[in-house]
Amino acid sequence: MPIDLPENAYLTNDPSGSGWDCARGFTALTDACVPIAVPENGYLTNADYGAEWACERGFFEIDGRCDPVALPANAFLDQDSYGPGWRCERGFEAVNDTCVAIHLPATPISTDPETAGAATAAFSSRTGSAFLDDSTPRSRPAETSGVRMRIGCRLRYQLTQPTPIIAMLNVHYSRFGDLERADYLVTQPSVPLESYRDAFGNWCTRMVAPAGNLTLSTDGIFRDTGLPDPKAPEAEQHAVQELPFETLAFLLGSRYCDADLLSDEAWRLFESTPPGWARVQAICAFVHSAVSFDYMQASATRTASETLAGGQGVCRDFTHLAIALCRCMNIPARYCTGYLSEFGQPTPHPPDDFAAWMEVFLGGRWWVFDPRNNCPRLGRILIARGRDAADVPLTQTFGPNTLTQFDVWTWDAEDHPAEASSGSRN
- The CA-CA-CA angle for residues 170, 176, 181, to 5°, reads 80
pLDDT band at 384 (very low <50, low <70, confident <90, very high): very high
Q: Which tops the pLDDT comparison, 393 or 296?
A: 393
What is the pLDDT of the chain when averaged over all its residues?
A: 83
Least confident among 75-84, 214-223, 251-260, 360-369 = 75-84
Of the chain, the percentage scoring pLDDT greater than 70 comes to 84
pLDDT band at 149 (very low <50, low <70, confident <90, very high): very high
425, pLDDT greater than 50: no
Alpha-carbon distance of 390 to 301, in angstroms, equals 10
Average pLDDT over residues 310-329: 97
Neighbouring C-beta atoms of residue 261, cutoff 10 Å: 17
pLDDT band at 421 (very low <50, low <70, confident <90, very high): very low
Domains of the chain: 9-66 (no CATH), 75-132 (no CATH), 240-378 (3.10.620.30)
pLDDT band at 79 (very low <50, low <70, confident <90, very high): low
Supply the pLDDT for residue 231: 94
Least confident among 92-106, 264-278, 298-312, 383-397 = 92-106
Interval 397-414: pLDDT, tens? 999 999 999 999 998 888
3, pLDDT greater than 70: yes
pLDDT band at 264 (very low <50, low <70, confident <90, very high): very high
Average pLDDT over residues 135-142: 36
Average pLDDT over residues 159-176: 94
Average pLDDT over residues 49-74: 79
326, pLDDT greater than 90: yes
**Mapped to the 3 state alphabet, what secondary structure does 322-386 carry?**
HHHHHHHCCCCEEEEEEEECCCCCCCCCCCCCEEEEEEEEECCEEEEECCCCCCCCCCEEEEEEE
What's this model's pTM, rounded to 2 decimal places?
A: 0.66
36, pLDDT greater than 70: yes
125, pLDDT greater than 90: no
